[in-house]
Amino acid sequence: MGNYLNPGNSGFASIRNDLYVDKSGMIGLINETIDTPRRLTCVSRPRRFGKSFAAKMLCAYYDRNCDSAGLFDDLEIAGDARYREYRNRYDVIYLDMTEAIGEASIEEVVPYIKRNVIGELSEQYPGLAAAEGFAATLANAAQIAGNRFVMIIDEWDAPIREAKGNPCLQRKYLEFLRSLFKNSGMTDKIFAAVYMTGILPVKKDGSQSAISDFQEYSMVKPGPFGKFVGFTEDEVKKLCGDHGRDFEMMKQWYDGYSFRTLASVYNPNSVMKAIRSGDLDSYWTQTSAAESLMGYIGLDFDGLGKTISELIGGVEVKVDTAGFANDLETFRNRDDVLALLIHLGYLTYDETTRRAHIPNEEIRLEFARAVRQVRRDDTIRRVRESDRLIEDTIHRREEAVARQIEKIHEEEASLHYNNEQALRSVIKRAYFSCGDEYVMLEELPAGAGCADIVYLPKKDSVLPALVIELKWNQSAKSALEQIRDRRYPEALREYGGDILLVGISYDKKAPAGKRKHQCRIESFSRSGSYGK
């Protein structure tokens, strides 16, 4: 058992010894590519989305120097027609690029890998003749072994990220990968299959992928790997049922990623931590990815500050992901920044509508925290105005609330009111900075209907809950009447704090120049009475 050649199954065995959600079906997708022109697979996903777990699982399954039947016979993959045919059949070359950089400097990581892989191959196959090139030596080893290799590269993009600002080092690393995977004749001789995973898709060389033969699956287009990116809804329901956790709150905090074939995908790391601790909170703060968010959203591109406030408010925004260079430094415009945030998991992307939004409460909280540290005049102004709006609402300054919502509407020149949904978009933009104190809930089932927007204070907040009802071409008074008549405060039966009822309206039927927003605010008591 080596470090780079046939690392064994101990890594996956330790995963199985803990709380485990079966993702072994992914092995079947790799099995389908073995000894085919599709043998090169690159799957990118954010930090803490199970990349290393998947790599260790594949090592345990393919490694010929161990018997992993006991780890897989009770899992989904055992029902695959090729399960036994490929299990523990191949020599596996495993490269953890983050670990390799830790052992060698970024400048020496490629020679270090070559030296150590060839050294372990020579021990395994004493008759191995070292050729002039690394790829040729691997081809000789495959011939001696009588079998091609399965190569697994974890954190493939670590050298690209670590060599940020050093295109020469990045180019040397990409040339190393090209030498293995760009020459189809040599690649076919060496590899039965290759699985490469990282945060970013393959780096672009100009407008094209630098290693174009890989079949790529990313957070923009995950294809059949979508259900292996995170946890599905059924998996989270089972975890919550088994461990006595509130599924609806788990959904609010960690759901929100969606793909063409899968409506709900949950952040697996955060779900597991919440299951174990019983504490619903943001666990992104504990990752290095969170530290970089402020830098990206603070970049000086026209319209980015406004877009970030829209996203925090719950609005979907149009994104062109095609021009993104797949690195952390090449930004030409707002869309490149947003494309990176999609790959980092801060946004979820709908490839049908080509729109992105913040997926869940966990990430919205991270944005709300980061945006307060951005030192851009327009961002600072937007945060202050939103903070003041929340304060005016809490103190029931109805005219001030109406004026600020009017201002937001006037700034959104492209947004025309056609229905209450358009009005809702303005409200979410206006209250975007509330993430520090509130959880935003839309269309919350309540009483005899659904409340349009509810801002529910987080557990440590002393602020009142806000139940907001919107009316288009009607009055704010009628909005409050609907809250009372349909008993919307019943949705907050378990909430023990104060509740404010907020009615907001816009009358498009009024004469030009008199089409103004109106606001009415009342308090709600547990006895069921209302009043100023």
Bin 48: left if φ > 0, else alpha if -120 < ψ < 50, else beta.
left
450-474 pLDDT, tens digit each: 888 899 888 778 889 999 988 877 8
CA dist 177 and 210 (Å) reads 9
CA dist 385 and 407 (Å) reads 10
CA dist 135 and 365 (Å) reads 47
Is the Cβ–Cβ distance between 421 and 443 less than 8 Å?
no
388-430 pLDDT, tens digit each: 999 999 999 999 999 998 888 877 645 555 556 677 788 888 8
Nearest 5 degrees, angle CA 433-CA 437-CA 438? 85
Cβ neighbours around 96 below 10 Å, total: 21
Is the Cβ–Cβ distance between 59 and 116 less than 8 Å?
no
273 confidence band (pLDDT: 50, 70, 90): very high
What residues contact 279, with CB distance under 8 A and at least 6 apart? 273
Is the Cβ–Cβ distance between 106 and 163 less than 8 Å?
yes
Comparing C-alpha atoms, which of 289, 269, 286 is closest to residue 48? 269
- What are the residue boundaries of the structural domains of the chain, listed by start? 10-217, 228-273, 285-371, 385-531
**E strands, 227-286, where?**
231-232, 257-259, 262-266
308-321 pLDDT, tens digit each: 888 887 888 999 99
Helix 334-343 to helix 288-297 angle, to the nearest 10 degrees?
Answer: 170
Mean pLDDT of the 157-167 span: 88
What is 10-217's CATH topology? Rossmann fold (3.40.50)
Nearest 5 degrees, angle CA 276-CA 281-CA 284? 95
Is the Cβ–Cβ distance between 160 and 170 less than 8 Å?
yes
For 245, half-sphere exposure in the C-beta direction (CA atoms, 13 angstrom radius) is: 24
Q: What percent of the chain has pLDDT over 90?
A: 52
